[in-house]
Amino acid sequence: MLMKIPFFNNKKSKESLHYTQDTQDNTPDHVAIIMDGNGRWASKRGMPRVAGHKEGLSAVVKIVKAAVKCQVKILTMYTFSTENWKRPKPEIDFIMKLPKEFLDIYLPDIIANNVRIEVIGNMKELPAYTREAVQYAIDSTRDNDGLQLNIALNYGSRHEILHAMKEMLADINNAKLSLDQVDEQQFSRYLYTAGMTNPDLLIRTGGEKRLSNFLLWQLAYTEFCFTDVLWPDFSENEFMDALEEYRQRKRRYGGI
């Protein structure tokens, strides 16, 4: 079966879209975003790459607020991948300090918007100060019941799938689970996204058109939107355009 990978038109009008009840009813419940282009944004301006990562923080807040406005239920943002450890150490060190900087500035705003923060990824390999900042955000927003913001931090889908398989096999060996019980639904319970719906829409900024080891299991039937806009420039209007394109599609899940 061929997968059609569509694109949304970056030349659309940037005027804000008017949201009616009909459009809200067809809004994706779960949106995943690969936030790409921070380094290139900075390089184009003669700035160090880390300046792009810092600028990208404000884009995160804009899109979180837009998702709340559009009544999206889950927003998963690819923040740092298991492959990103290959980058220069100064850049990695800077990125690892961004969660605390982000939360120092924006956490009150996030709480005011009734957003609950969760993290998916291997937290054990992160610096202590990064883990502490993220855990503080999780604890501070635990009682919020609005948008769930998943921060994919030190996340890699292949690692997630292997980890889930090992955990499931351990339960089989310990007689907590029988082989006959294993199916897609059961396996999904061992993933970082256990208990969540799969993404309805994936947005990737920055012009690249690949998944980069992001949510490979969960994106099996997700609609894709790619844009050339670099992440720091990705605005509420671009986000609205992506949601509008999603609403124009018919999801068949292998049917007619």
Write out pLDDT tens, residues 194-219.
Answer: 999 999 999 999 999 999 999 999 99
Does residue 7 surpass a pLDDT of 90? no
**Which one of 25, 26, 36, 171 is the catalytic residue?**
36
Do residues 222 and 198 touch, judged by C-beta distance below 8 A?
yes
Confidence label for 10 from pLDDT (cuts 50, 70 and 90): very low
Number of CB atoms found within 10 A of residue 56's CB: 25
* Helix 89-112 with 49-69: angle, nearest 10 deg: 20
Mean pLDDT of the chain: 91
CA distances (Å), 247 to each of 25, 34, 41, 178, in order? 10, 20, 30, 41
Pairwise CA distance, residues 111 & 41, whole Å: 29
Instruction: Mark whether 104 is an active-site residue.
Output: no
pLDDT of the residue at 253: 78
Q: State the alpha helices, DSSP H only, in the chain.
A: 21-25, 38-43, 49-69, 89-112, 128-140, 157-173, 184-188, 236-248
Contacts of 215 (CB under 8 A, 6+ apart): 32, 76, 152, 157, 193, 199, 202, 222
**Which one of 29, 84, 122, 237 is the catalytic residue?**
84
pLDDT of the residue at 250: 85
Q: Is 231 marked as binding a ligand?
A: no
Q: Is 132 marked as binding a ligand?
A: no
pLDDT digits (tens, 9 = 90+) for 124-138: 999 999 999 999 999
pLDDT digits (tens, 9 = 90+) for 84-120: 999 999 999 999 999 999 999 999 999 999 999 999 9
Confidence label for 24 from pLDDT (cuts 50, 70 and 90): low
**256 vs 76: which has the higher pLDDT:** 76
- Cα 38–Cα 43–Cα 46 angle in degrees, nearest 5: 135
**Average pLDDT, stretch 168-176?**
96
**58 vs 252: which has the higher pLDDT:** 58
Q: Is 87 marked as binding a ligand?
A: yes
Q: Is 162 marked as binding a ligand?
A: no
Task: List the domains of the chain with CATH numbers.
Answer: 26-155+197-246 (3.40.1180.10)
pTM: 0.89
**Average pLDDT, stretch 168-174?**
97
Instruction: Mark whether 144 is an active-site residue.
Output: no
**Average pLDDT, stretch 223-240?**
97
Distance of CA 49 to the CA centre of its chain: 21
